Amino acid sequence: MSFRSGTVALIGRPNAGKSSLLNALVGERIAAVSSRPQTTRNRVLGLWNAEDMQVVLLDTPGLHDAWTVFNQRMVAVSEGVLDEVEAICWILDIEPLVAALAKGAPILDAQLITVRDRVLARGVPLLLVLNKIDRVQKEQALPVIAALAELSPLIVPLSAKKGTGLDALAKAIRRVLPVQPGLYPQDQLTTETERFIVAELIRERVMEHTEQEVPYATAVDIERFDESSREAGKVHIHAKILVEKESQKAIVIGQGGKMIKRIGTEARKTIAGLLGCQVRLDLFVVVERDWTRNPRLLRELGLDG
């Protein structure tokens, strides 16, 4: 069978499951996933290596109404990615679409129509992924597929979380990729640095366990990534969790240090899985006022676009 490869953007609303899908396809936890919207802040590249194709997947920040400078930058990142790809994979959470049809409302609300228009304007093949299929009945999914059929002939219902429907997505993507060799070695998972992924996996745990504004006031900076004992199976990581206020620092640390301990324990497990070795993880919570508006810090954190 001829080998195909190419670059595909994963775009969609915050929380649709783009990063979950990236991880499911890559087969490793490389992108942060949390139940909060706007978890992803950067473009994240993952390689989906199948026997007969290599897909360069670009995970993106969720497309939403940008209202702060920081969020505008996130939307700009997603828009920019659309210029670099052979195909666009638009991830939609199927649950609200089922609900819209049940109410007799149009399947795409105003925000989704904006996304649709931006995507169609690119003129590259569009695949629709209806994610979270595990949350609805099959009979409910069929009318959604019918209602979206005019947008694309390539519609794949799946569950990124359960890993079901991925074969159908592979088939659909193969149809739109050119016959050409892969750009990267077949055993490579990503071009992101381990440092970046580790920071993301720590931030993911903060986002999952904190509430209100705290998830959005947080960034993670890896101060030290000591690999001197890696051959012996050990890595020592020193990471700073940046917040904007003292009150947020207190929340991230938690009563008696309970919260930071939980974040550290969970993050360490995932990081150890990713690095394939033992990990010592030291976390420090630091107040850095206005880091989301500080160009120097944004640059240091790779968040300046």
Q: Which residues bind ligand GTP (CB under 6 A)?
A: 12, 14-20, 33-35, 37-40, 61-62, 131-132, 134-135, 159-161
From start to end of 13-52, where are the E strands? 44-49
Q: Using the minimum distance from each CB to Mg ion, give the nearer residue, 39 or 210.
A: 39
Shortest Cβ distance from residue 70 to ligand GTP (Å)? Answer: 14
Cβ atoms 226, 268 nearer than 8 A: no
160 binds, among ligand GTP, Mg ion, none (CB under 5 to 8 A by kind): ligand GTP
Q: Using the minimum distance from each CB to ligand GTP, give the nearer residue, 160 or 252.
A: 160
7 binds, among Mg ion, ligand GTP, none (CB under 5 to 8 A by kind): none
Q: Using the minimum distance from each CB to ligand GTP, give the nearer residue, 37 or 80.
A: 37
Shortest Cβ distance from residue 105 to Mg ion (Å)? Answer: 26
Q: What is the residue type of 205?
A: R
Shortest Cβ distance from residue 19 to Mg ion (Å)? Answer: 3
What is the spatial distance between Cα 132 and Cα 135, in angstroms, rounded to a whole number?
6
Question: Which tokens sit at 2?
Answer: 């001829």
Q: At what angle do helices 18-26 and 166-176 cross, to 10 degrees?
A: 90
List of residues contacting Mg ion (CB under 5 A): 18-19, 39-40
DSSP-derived secondary structure letter, 242: E
190 binds, among ligand GTP, Mg ion, none (CB under 5 to 8 A by kind): none
Shortest Cβ distance from residue 41 to ligand GTP (Å)? Answer: 8
Q: Using the minimum distance from each CB to Mg ion, give the nearer residue, 19 or 190.
A: 19
What is the spatial distance between Cα 66 and Cα 82, in angstroms, rounded to a whole number?
17
54 binds, among Mg ion, ligand GTP, none (CB under 5 to 8 A by kind): none
Shortest Cβ distance from residue 24 to Mg ion (Å)? Answer: 13
Which stretches within 230-257 are classed as H helix?
Answer: 246-253
Q: Using the minimum distance from each CB to ligand GTP, give the nearer residue, 136 or 253.
A: 136
Residue with the CB atom nearest ligand GTP in the bound state: 62
70 Cβ contact partners less than 8 Å away, ≥ 6 residues apart: 292, 293, 298, 303
16 binds, among Mg ion, ligand GTP, none (CB under 5 to 8 A by kind): ligand GTP
Shortest Cβ distance from residue 40 to Mg ion (Å)? Answer: 3
What is the spatial distance between Cα 172 and Cα 156, in angstroms, rounded to a whole number?
8
Question: Which tokens sit at 252?
Answer: 């991230």
Cβ atoms 212, 239 nearer than 8 A: no
Beta pairing class for 219-226 and 234-243: antiparallel
